[in-house]
Structure 1
Amino acid sequence: MAAKGVIKGIVTVAVIGALGAGGWFAYRHFVPEQSARTEKVYVQRVANVNAAGTGDLFANCFSGVIVAQKTVSVKYDTSKTIGEILVSEGDSVKKGDKLLTYNIEAIQIEIDTAKLEVEGLQNSIQTNEAEIAQLEKEKRTATGDAQVSYTTKILSLQSDNARSEYDIKTKNVEIAKLENSLNNAFVTAPIDGTVKELKDGAPDPMSENPDVIMKITADGDYRVQGTFNEQNAMSISKGAEVILRSRVDDTTRKGEISDIDEEPISQEDPYGMMRSDPMTSSSKYAFYVKPESLEGFRLGQHLVIEMDRGDEDEKRTGVWLYDSFVMWDGKENYVWAKNDRDRIEKRIVEIGEHDEERGESEIKSGLSPEDYIAVPADYIEAGMGTTTNFSEAEIPEDASGMPADGAYPADAVPGGEEADFDAAGNLVYTDGEGDVYTFDPEGELIDGEGKLFDEENAEADEAENEAENDG
């Protein structure tokens, strides 16, 4: 797309503004004066703001840090006797591999003992039921206090039977668990990894975790830990593909979200004090990325985690800038750039392709990644000093943050309208209907008629332009 088709001028705004607020503004819009200001303008290296290959500006991004691989504690049932440990320190294991077995004979003895207890309880119930039947028979022929005595004995035996029935249910649950243990009398690896810190199997009641028999560290040297909160939780899902981006250069790696913590990250400091009010602050959660490779990165390095939209392989090259950097002076596109005297200047650039969705333009010529540019603002004028230290930048108190006189954002006005200067230095403006208007250096209309001077139509055009820009 040609530059004028891609980057839209602001001529209509300039001319309408000139008619409403004075012709001098319209003329100065296209003829900026040299600056005598002493403020310094903050400039950034083009390579640092280059939109080529950086993905979607509005994509969900998360902060991350490279950490050691996941380590899982393997626990065993300390109420059972370990029969055999099947692995050694440093062994590589796969998820589901058997790590140790329990003593099956001990489990079988527990099962047999529990079954004998159930059998004894059942025999006791049968004996009591027979005795209750006999007491009921004798009670029918008894009189007076004798009947009361029979009733008391019967109720006592019925209570004993109810207690025995409950004990039988409890024992059957215990037997089912023991039989399940007998069928699964082993502990398996929860993840792929390497066996670490293997104990001899003798529980130490004084240790912090007496039931931990060993630890397994996941395969790979490192993984990436990221954080998210309640507001962006919907963007995180296990198995989602991501792009890992260095904060110091253009290095990228691909990865996949492997784990998501369900418990929030503790907000307590090392002294046990809350760092923020849990009722007013958003909870943060950790998630982990398994990278394809972390070559070129190091432990503890901070990076950006970006959701992979699948267009990384189609990464653009060259220089691409967000449209807010590119301006239009009525004739050419330009940016505010630092020259070789460390002064800000209007640098003419050639526009190539334009990405409407992302609001980015390709700079075909006029800038290199090593150049330095500034974000347009109302106080910037050619000849001002520059600085790469933001704290040294001097922004006037009356600065509005809008583009300076003589320049507006290049995407502010519909295309098809032209502004130029004739040999005498007069501003010549052609609107979308083909009507031509000429203004002298003082901003006074010299020649031209058309609906530009129809207030009602001018307002309609302005509304139409705003709607087109919003679209």
Structure 2
Amino acid sequence: MNKKVVITIGAVVLAGVITAGVYFLGGSKSDASNGEGVYVDSVSMITGMGGIGLQNRFSGVVEPQETLEIKLDSGKTVKECYVEAGQEVSIGTELFLYDTGEMAMKLEEGKLELESISNEILSMNRQIATLETEKANASDDGKLEYTIQIQNLQNSVKRAEYNKTVKDIELTQLQKSIDTAKVTSNIQGVVKSINKTGMDQYGQPVAYMTILATGEYRIKATTNEQNIYALTEGMPVIARSRVDSTLTWNGTINKIDTESPVDNNNQNGGMMSPGGGNVETATKYHFYTTLDSYEGLMLGQHVFVEMNNGQGEQKEGLWLPSYYLVEMDGENAFIWTANDKDKLEKKAVTLGEYDADMDQYKIVEGITPQDYIAFPQEGLEEGTKVIKDGGEIAE
């Protein structure tokens, strides 16, 4: 995907975020267009000319690309642990050893049972051979009784052979468990935690040991249900330091997890509104970002994640995203704007240069950063009252 396509997708999705964002400003745009009022945003906010601009920020944290969680095998206990939390491990590092004492005892008992079954089969086959010989020398009246005895023994042999097969499989698994009792790491990383019981407070199985992979990192960010569907995999983003907003890292969204909602009771992350406050939502989700470079970042560091709409590149003049423009014809177009009576009207603007990468037009004449404009949508009519920046309907 070339840069033009990626940025254009990001710009189109921004339109969706702007639409969703009005939920946090007082209501939905679709509701506003039903004769109640239309939401409008300042041009300075949309273009960033008034400071930060209309830019959703999401809470994120630097984490490893891979996390290895090792759960204890059912019915097994740990005899010895060779590592501790915080220790670095490599591929092949011995982590812990299962207690094989009980398994070894079961293995010996199983071998004795297997030998007993084999002897039983051998004995029954011998009985069958003897009965076959006696049947051949018996009278016609006596052959039927021999036939019944032989058939019963043959059925018993089949059952014993089945039991032998089952026991063979069981012993093979036991032997494999004993041979693999020493567990090793298959990744390079750091031991994050060790749960000695392998159970949580409710008695449910959890990871006995968690290992965080080192070398490759990613950003795990949190968003809410209104914004999750405005994000797409491959969308360009910027990770911004919480401490120094001038420190940024470029990247792309590589995974959006809509299948596993975040437990709000144990999650403080979420979308940050342009004003910096947390937005309370009913449901939150994680999405993941890979960065072009992780230089200067540390594992566990908290950052902000925002869509890359070119906010790091300042251009001279007023540049407006193309999705605000309607009825475009060469250098002329219209926008929906709030007039001096706080009513909606369609206003002509003159277009200048076009930035294909950002899908933005330079506005030569028609509006200023102090004007308020509406996002184009079905049902807009001139004369409708406007609602500025999430406030009350203008009287």
TM-score normalized by the length of structure 2 = 0.55
Does 1:48 find its partner at 2:45? yes
The answer for the alignment partner of 2:87 in structure 1 is 91
Structure 2: how far apart are the matches of 1:187 and 1:358? 52
The answer for the alignment partner of 2:177 in structure 1 is 181
Does 1:320 find its partner at 2:319? yes
Deviates more, 1:335-344 or 1:119-128: 335-344
- Equivalent of residue 76 in structure 2, options 77, 80, 94: 80
- Equivalent of residue 243 in structure 1, options 228, 237, 253: 237
Q: 1:340 to 1:185 in 2, by over 3 A?
A: same
The answer to whether the Cα contact below 8 Å between 1:45 and 1:372 also exists between their aligned partners in 2 is: yes
Structure 2: how far apart are the matches of 1:352 and 1:118? 89
The answer to whether the Cα contact below 8 Å between 1:321 and 1:360 also exists between their aligned partners in 2 is: yes
The answer to whether the Cα contact below 8 Å between 2:262 and 2:284 also exists between their aligned partners in 1 is: no
Map 1:96-135 onto structure 2 (within 5 A): 97-103=93-99, 107=103, 110-135=106-131
Q: 1:141 to 1:50 in 2, by over 3 A?
A: same
Question: CA offsets per residue over residues 294-334 of structure 1, 9 Å max, x none?
Answer: 97x99697x6668xxxx979967343214545899999889
Q: 1:226 to 1:112 in 2, by over 3 A?
A: farther
Structure 1 residue matching 2:73: 3-state secondary structure? coil
The answer to whether the Cα contact below 8 Å between 2:61 and 2:301 also exists between their aligned partners in 1 is: no
The answer to whether the Cα contact below 8 Å between 2:343 and 2:383 also exists between their aligned partners in 1 is: no
Q: 1:119 to 1:379 in 2, by over 3 A?
A: same
The answer for the alignment partner of 1:213 in structure 2 is 208
Question: CA offsets per residue over residues 91-143 of structure 1, 9 Å max, x none?
Answer: 24457654212245665554454344333322321221111010111123334
Q: 1:44 to 1:212 in 2, by over 3 A?
A: closer
Structure 1: how far apart are the matches of 2:133 and 2:330? 117
Structure 1: how far apart are the matches of 2:321 and 2:207? 55
Structure 1 residue matching 2:194: 3-state secondary structure? coil
Paired letter, 1:169: T
The answer for the alignment partner of 1:373 in structure 2 is 372
The answer for the alignment partner of 2:354 in structure 1 is 354
Q: Higher Cα Rg: structure 1 or 2? A: 1
Map 1:14-25 onto structure 2 (within 5 A): none
Identity of aligned residues (%): 24
Structure 2 residue matching 1:79: 3-state secondary structure? coil
Paired letter, 2:254: I
The answer to whether the Cα contact below 8 Å between 1:335 and 1:373 also exists between their aligned partners in 2 is: no
The answer to whether the Cα contact below 8 Å between 1:325 and 1:374 also exists between their aligned partners in 2 is: no
Q: 1:190 to 1:49 in 2, by over 3 A?
A: farther
Offset at residue 47 of structure 1 (A): 3.6
Structure 2: how far apart are the matches of 1:385 and 1:258? 38
TM-score normalized by the length of structure 1 = 0.48
The answer for the alignment partner of 1:275 in structure 2 is none
The answer to whether the Cα contact below 8 Å between 1:44 and 1:374 also exists between their aligned partners in 2 is: yes
Does 1:257 find its partner at 2:251? no
Structure 1: how far apart are the matches of 2:145 and 2:97? 57
The answer for the alignment partner of 1:171 in structure 2 is 167
The answer for the alignment partner of 2:60 in structure 1 is 66
Structure 1: how far apart are the matches of 2:151 and 2:303? 73
The answer to whether the Cα contact below 8 Å between 1:338 and 1:371 also exists between their aligned partners in 2 is: no
The answer for the alignment partner of 2:134 in structure 1 is 138
5+ residue gaps, structure 2, are: 1-36, 50-55, 266-282
The answer for the alignment partner of 2:191 in structure 1 is 195
The answer to whether the Cα contact below 8 Å between 1:41 and 1:374 also exists between their aligned partners in 2 is: no
5+ residue gaps, structure 1, are: 1-39, 53-61, 270-283, 395-471
Q: How many residue pairs get matched?
A: 317
The answer to whether the Cα contact below 8 Å between 1:260 and 1:287 also exists between their aligned partners in 2 is: yes
Structure 2: how far apart are the matches of 1:255 and 1:358? 16
Offset at residue 243 of structure 1 (A): 2.0
Paired letter, 2:392: S
Q: 1:233 to 1:169 in 2, by over 3 A?
A: farther
Q: 1:362 to 1:215 in 2, by over 3 A?
A: same
Offset at residue 252 of structure 1 (A): 7.0
Does 1:393 find its partner at 2:394? yes
The answer to whether the Cα contact below 8 Å between 1:41 and 1:380 also exists between their aligned partners in 2 is: no
Structure 2 residue matching 1:391: 3-state secondary structure? coil
